[in-house]
Structure 1
């Protein structure tokens, strides 16, 4: 029964996070990108903080190390990641954005090895990272004669989002402040929202009154804040404890499938052959980079099954 429960929650999480990219595209028609991302995490951060207060005793960071971990999460995992993603997604499809973001687990491994030279990547791992980056190139399709086309720049920004998230994941783990993940996520969301509000004001993003009367804009914001962020992260916390980091990373490769289907149904977006090929390369890169951890997880699952 537990196995079916985990599978159901995994599919729900993939659906929430995959369809979130479509909600972003829908909301960007009404709300400026960085302000949109900031509002999302105003709401999600407050909801997550309420959950942290309820779920853990250590809901308020203490000391310099814990607040440093929160600051890194706020700047990289929330602010930089979502600012790049939302700005980039104005001029690329939701499916392409989801696929580029799925490179994050591969980049995380690369950053971890760079920051910890004693734990170097094996030759096969290096090949995996390179294949993942080739997948990005296939999706972006840069034109050497004109690298600054709107589509290429947009996809490049989404790639920067994936890189910011990967770097933030590695740095927050290295700090090892023993802060509960619920607490770290809640305060990072609120801090990241504040950073994005400051950036939004600094660049003078316009606030259109019509956005606040549009059912589609309000629906997109509510879905992203409550569904994809608050509910999504609660499911993520539960599965992380039950499945571990490697298995939960696989949601990054199911979510783009959901994005492609929902984007086609709701936005009439079509996934081209190059995007599919890039996704396949990124997935192969992930399997090569994480091959040892995946083998360990498969062995663990088999041993559980034989003991039941």
Structure 2
């Protein structure tokens, strides 16, 4: 099918972008960290079944493989989602998605610190700075009240993006041959356990959950559409597009989050949201200019061969 990749890319952007709106809607009914933990209880079981079906490695075997799962579960699942769900209580869906779109930029920064073979050029450093300027523009802090609830919420979402970026770099340092489906499944389950422990430490309780139809709908949407279906599409696209092109989904999700937030929650994106997003996207282009250029050449060459 000629348009399969673009259609799947759009579907992934819809699944992951609308997740920010589903999170925001569900936070009315769930304590935040418990909400995230319940999501990955269910999503982890679904992913585990999928991993057992499509791979011959349904569990880690070596110490390095278990370390890979531990890092992924702690940083990329537990820390990322705990910070995101708590932070999104004080931000809009679009704002949270824009801040999270900084992850590929932060990944490059962490890679420079932890991976000796990674090097940043002058333009790469400029790209990092432009990305951070975007967050500054987006946050628009009040000099007389820097630590207000909105700024703290945005800082927590930033920490979520940083946790995910750090986890993605550290997992690259671990030499393991665990299939990505198996790694994701076990990471989800480990992350869920960590978040349940965190939820208990924060005195959250199932008694605080308001089990309404909207609450169940938001939870199931995150489990089935944003997690299970989203990751199935991601695995499919990753095999055929590669990590550079698939990274671009990070810059489609804020648009989807803004649209769904406006449609379902009445959230109106501000001009600063759009401006901050433009800075972050520009920073990504500066950082990944060579890879993007090579990807563009590859796509053009494959298009000409198929004519």
Q: Normalised by the shorter chain, which TM-score bucket?
A: over 0.9
SS state of the match for residue 83, structure 1? helix
Q: CA deviation at 1:144?
A: 3.4
Q: CA deviation at 1:118?
A: 4.3
SS state of the match for residue 144, structure 2? coil
In the TM superposition, what are the counterparts of 1:1-308 in structure 2 within 5 Å?
A: 1-2=1-2, 4-208=3-207, 211-212=210-211, 214-308=212-306
Equivalent-residue separation in structure 2 for 1:211 and 1:188 (angstroms) = 28
Equivalent-residue separation in structure 2 for 1:209 and 1:288 (angstroms) = 46
Bigger drift between 187-196 and 117-126 goes to: 117-126
SS state of the match for residue 211, structure 1? coil
Cα separation, partners in 2 of 1:209 and 1:170, compared to 1, 3 Å: closer
Question: Contact 1:31–1:208 (CA<8 Å) still a contact in 2?
Answer: no
Question: CA RMSD for the aligned pairs?
Answer: 1.0
Equivalent-residue separation in structure 1 for 2:141 and 2:170 (angstroms) = 30
Bigger drift between 264-273 and 199-208 goes to: 199-208
Cα separation, partners in 2 of 1:210 and 1:163, compared to 1, 3 Å: closer
Question: Contact 2:74–2:194 (CA<8 Å) still a contact in 1?
Answer: yes
Q: CA deviation at 1:116?
A: 2.3
Q: Deviations over 1:196-224 (max 9, x none)?
A: 00010111013346622x01110000000
- The alignment's TM-score, normalised by the length of structure 1, stands at 0.97
- The alignment's TM-score, normalised by the length of structure 2, stands at 0.98
Equivalent-residue separation in structure 2 for 1:224 and 1:84 (angstroms) = 17
Equivalent-residue separation in structure 2 for 1:141 and 1:306 (angstroms) = 46
Q: CA deviation at 1:114?
A: 1.1
Q: Count how many residue pairs are aligned between Structure 1 and Structure 2.
A: 306
Structure 1: 5+ residue stretches without partners: none
SS state of the match for residue 58, structure 1? coil
Structure 2: 5+ residue stretches without partners: none
Q: Deviations over 1:159-213 (max 9, x none)?
A: 000000000011111113111100000000000000000010111013346622x
Q: CA deviation at 1:249?
A: 0.6
Question: Contact 1:30–1:208 (CA<8 Å) still a contact in 2?
Answer: no
Q: Deviations over 1:36-82 (max 9, x none)?
A: 00000000000000000000001110111000000000000000000
SS state of the match for residue 250, structure 1? helix
Equivalent-residue separation in structure 1 for 2:208 and 2:244 (angstroms) = 44
